[in-house]
A and B are shown apart, each in its own frame.
Chain A
Amino acid sequence: MRPGEDPLTAAIARVRAKFLTSLNDRCAEVAPLLSCADTPPDDILVPALTALHKTAGSAGSLGYRDLSEAAFGGEHSVKADLDSTRSISPYTREWLVCFLQLAERAMEDNSKDAPSAARQA
């Protein structure tokens, strides 16, 4: 815990660090959807939807509201595509790209913060 930091902020920071560690894996589950020309097979679809759903639920509580919204938008857009055309639409691709970019930015920001946090500790 940093000096002057309240316990709640410190607790959220600890969970946020674990979240960012898992985010790379979650991106790796989502990215293959972008290369699916037709209906994604279940071994790509199910892990991708699970990763999007989990990120939608947790990112916002940890301070990454935009990432949470992009994950939510991506998940629902993929489901809507599957209900209609059965293939990933350009609109859904935009959501997924947005999600991956925001996730990358969050991980980059964290790696920039890490040395200064280590110095303060």
Chain B
Amino acid sequence: MQIMAIDDDPIILELLSEVIGPMTNHSIITATSAKEALTMLARPETPKIDCFLLDIQMPEMDGIDLCRALRRSGAYPFAPILMLTAMNDRRYIDAAFAAGASDYITKPFEVNDIQLRIRQAEHRAARLARQIQQFTEDSDPTVKPKLDEPFVLYDINNVIDHYSLCNYVPMISGQTLSNSVVAGFHIRKIAQIHQSATPIQFRGLIEDVAEIISDALRNFNFLMSYAGNGTYLCVVEQTQTPDCRQIVDQINLALHQLDPVVPKPDNTQIRVCTSDLIPLIGRRAEMTQVALTMAKEMAEKRGREIEIELDTQWFMSRTA
């Protein structure tokens, strides 16, 4: 990958150049400010950048604004952006991921950790590139995303890609003063919908439901992602714990009003169900992935249980 590192500390740039350039198969160019980076990127002779390393606290334009500018420019919608910063407050972490960061590394960092996180970003970038190939307009429109595969949704408030959410959660779990909960939201009968919908209809449904969930949570401090299998994971700051039942009613009402264009299994409306709220408090960073998996599985299990309950009620009413 061609990496660009932006930091106002020349020592950090020197260190990154030493440990990334000659010791990996990546090339690195550096800039000491956001302004210099944007100027370099505008030059035709600058190589295409595949990955960014951004400091946050820099004079004039900070790294979060630069991250947002890079994403909004349209030139780097998929390039991994790794924040590399001494700012470890929750508000910076939230703002960085909401602006489009893929990962967040706090300084001082271990050199081996940087190398590992860049390798992970490279794998993620390769997977994203394959997905993009599938979904660009000139690719085969008959290719449908796999049911269980998370894919990236763009331009929906507080929705980030699933890889970034998995990197975000360990960062906030270590914060002692502001803990969070994770909730899963699942589209019921998603397997049947996936089977009968066209690729465009399926993708449209996933986007519509993401927008509706994002809107229902607008009064909370949250980030969410699409985790595949019709399930969304939402990380909400615990100071404003949501009433999940009320949120689900709100989402289902909005879905009823929108009536997404998609084949409805058994002519029933598209409906969403939710998991319990799973606290992230007190979990070690490596255990936070378990909380995400639990929320996903719980929401999906709840979906199956509701269908069984409804089938049983229907059968009982027929036999009564």
A: residues with CB less than 8 A from B are 7-8, 11-12, 14-15, 18-19, 22, 50, 53-54, 56-62, 65, 68, 72
Contact = CB atoms under 8 A, between A and B. Distances in A.
A15 B18 contact: yes
Dominant SS among interface residues on chain B: loop
A107 to B, nearest CB: 15
* A-B interface, 8 closest residue pairs, ranked by CB to CB distance from nearest: A60-B108, A57-B107, A11-B18, A57-B86, A54-B9, A61-B108, A58-B11, A15-B15
Contacts of A12: 15, 18-19, 111
B131 interface: no
A12 B9 CA distance: 16
Interface string B1-44: 00000001111101100110011000000000000000000000
Chain B contact-residue range equals 20 to 34
Contact of B15 (A58, A68, A72): A58
Interface in B194-212: none
B85 interface: yes
Nearest to B86: A57
A16 B299 CA distance: 51
A6 to B, nearest CB: 10
Contact of B110 (A14, A59, A61, A68): A61
Contacts of B57: 53
Contact of A54 (B11, B18, B111): B11
Contact of B11 (A7, A8, A18): A18
B86 A65 contact: no
Contacts of A59: 108
Contacts of A7: 22-23
Contacts of B18: 11-12, 14-15
Contacts of B107: 56-58, 60-61
B109 interface: yes
B111 A58 contact: no
Interface in B165-215: none
Contacts of A65: 108
Given A65-B108, A68-B108, A72-B86, A58 B22 contact: no
Contacts of B19: 8, 11-12
Nearest to B88: A72
